[in-house]
Amino acid sequence: MATIASKIQEVSGRIARACDAAGRPVASVTLLAVSKTFGADTVREALAAGQTRFGENYVQEALDKMAALADVRARLEWHLIGPLQSNKTRAVAEAFDWVHSVDRLKIAQRLSEQRPDALPPLQVCLQVNVSGEASKSGLAPDEVEEVARAVATLPRLRLRGLMAIPEPAGDLSAQRRPHRALHELLERLQAGGLALDTLSMGMTADLEAAVLEGATLVRVGTAIFGGRSTGGNPRAAG
């Protein structure tokens, strides 16, 4: 049975080959290991293999895991990639390093107000419903600029870029289209003067398409940790 270390190597190899195909340096893409539903011991195993950035979907599960891993907190970077409700913003502001799933200004304002002064600014991305799915969270593309400009002014936050979870697509060409749309949206924001540098897109099934279209951070869970048996949105997991 393949170890987590070998699976991380395999995923890193996929990223490297996609970067080569895109004419991009490998260092331009960061791997986020999505540890949702897997325990602290699994995170420790991945950490021992050199993986330091972890994505979580559920706030309470993540907080419990963080407590169990408090002894290695300085080596870990925690990213919230799942939906964030208003009543959970304080816990997230106090515990996480990144939030990818800011989908309305109210959430950003609460994170800004509740981020402790002693911590570095919370790194945030705006989630965009790039495929227009009625069941999916995220800002409509035409809402993004107004919200981005407001979020960029908030203290104790740093707006880094955009995140999306496109609907599944069967072939590379179809997979690339929503990623291209998100990249073009980021470029419009950059051209408008916003200092953004992050495209959080691409998961186990479509990371090659995402890297070809400019992803700077890919969220991979299944290819590293295996399948998940518990609920939630499997697409958010990676």
Whole-angstrom distance, CA of residue 231 vs CA of residue 89: 22
What is the assigned CATH class of domain 4-225? alpha beta
Q: Which residues pair with 80 in a beta bridge?
A: 56, 99
Would you give per-residue pLDDT tens digits along the chain (238 residues)? 789 999 999 999 999 999 999 999 999 999 999 999 999 999 999 999 999 999 999 999 999 999 999 999 999 999 999 999 999 999 999 999 999 999 999 999 999 999 999 999 999 999 999 988 777 889 999 999 999 999 999 999 999 999 999 999 989 999 999 999 999 999 999 999 999 999 999 999 999 999 999 999 999 999 999 986 544 444 445 7
Which pair of structure tokens corresponds to residue 114?
């509740």
The DSSP 8-state label assigned to residue 47 in this structure reads H
What global pTM score does this model have? 0.95
- The domain segmentation of the chain, as residue ranges, is 4-225
